[in-house]
Each structure stands twice: as C-alpha cells, then as structure tokens.
Amino acid sequence: MKKTLLPLGTILILKGSDQKLMIVSRVVQMQTKETFDYMCVLWPNGFIGEEHQYFINHEDVRRVCHQGYSDSEDIEYLLELAEFNFEDEPVVE
C-alpha cells in the first residue's frame, strides 16, 4: 500500500457530490475480491442500513472536512496493513 489512508471517523466529501460521509472501515475486500480503501456511511446519520454503505477509494475524495483521530496504535496498524496480502484472506459478504 503506497498511499496514506485517512483515519477512522474522518468526514469527507466525494468528487461530484456535496453529501458528507464518515469513514468507518479501511481496506475492505468484497466477495468479488475487489478492494476499496474505505467503507463510509452518511454523516451525520451514521449507519442506517446496508443500502447506505459506500465503498470508495482515496482518489474519489474531493475534500476532507474533518480528519479522524490517529495515534501510535493507528500508525502501527497501518504499517501492519501495508504488509498484508489480501489475495488469500476472507472477504466481506
């Protein structure tokens, strides 16, 4: 993983949209083996159902409105994630 991922809790706006989303998960692999940088939910609503989960990549972000919390634990997790091989791991259903 070459890019720096945004922290959980980050509020962002996608290119071509005005709707705010909040990052609730990072590096999500789907059943199809397609991997996304983030899973987001509507902000300020939060999780209101699977039909309102958004799987996006870092390059889809137009603007960061608020950056979520990050500390040494988060940085350590991201370093471990950078070495992870997603090809052989379980997928999100």
Instruction: Note the pLDDT of residue 3.
Output: 66
Residue 11: what residue type?
I
**Exposed / middle / buried, residue 40 (Cβ in 10 Å: 0-12, 13-18, 19+):** buried
**Cα 37 → chain centroid:** 5
Instruction: Note the pLDDT of residue 79.
Output: 84
Domain residue spans in the chain? 11-88
Among candidates 7, 13, 6, 11, which has minimal Cα distance to 46?
A: 11
DSSP 91: -
Query: What is the C-alpha to C-alpha distance for residues 22 and 41, in angstroms, rounded to an integer?
Result: 5
Instruction: Note the pLDDT of residue 87.
Output: 47
Element (H, E) at 40: strand 35-42
Instruction: Note the pLDDT of residue 83.
Output: 67
Per-residue pLDDT of the chain in tens (93 residues, 90 and over written 9): 456 789 999 999 999 999 999 999 998 888 888 889 999 999 999 999 889 999 999 999 999 999 999 999 998 888 887 765 544 443 333
Among candidates 86, 74, 75, 80, which has minimal Cα distance to 33?
A: 86
